Amino acid sequence: MFRIGVLASGRGSNFQSLIDSIDSGAIKAEVACLITDNPDAYATERAKRHNIPHVYMNPASKDMYYNAIADELTRRGVELVALAGFMRVVKKPLIAAFPMRIMNIHPALLPSFKGLHAQRQALDYGVKIAGCTVHFVDEGVDTGPIILQEAVPVLSGDTEETLSARILECEHRIYPRAIKLFIEGKLKITGNKVIVEQ
pTM of the model: 0.96
pLDDT of residue 122: 97
Task: Give all domains of the chain, ordered by start, each with its CATH number.
Answer: 2-105+133-148+175-196 (3.40.50.170)
The predicted-structure confidence for 127-176, as pLDDT tens digits, reads as follows 999 999 999 999 999 999 999 999 999 999 999 999 999 999 999 999 99
Number of neighbours of residue 98 by Cβ within 10 angstroms:
21
Report which of 196, 173, 171, 188 is spatially closest to residue 26, judged by C-alpha positions: 173
Across the range 84-93, mean pLDDT stands at 95
Residue 118 has pLDDT above 90, yes or no: yes
Residue 147 φ/ψ, nearest 5 degrees: -100, -60
- The closest of 88, 103, 89, 96 to 38, measured between CA atoms, is 88
Find the angle CA(24)-CA(76)-CA(93) to the nearest 5 degrees: 115
Q: Is 106 a catalytic residue?
A: yes
Q: Say which of 50, 54, 106, 117 is annotated catalytic.
A: 106
- For the chain, the average pLDDT equals 97
Percentage above 90 pLDDT, the chain: 96
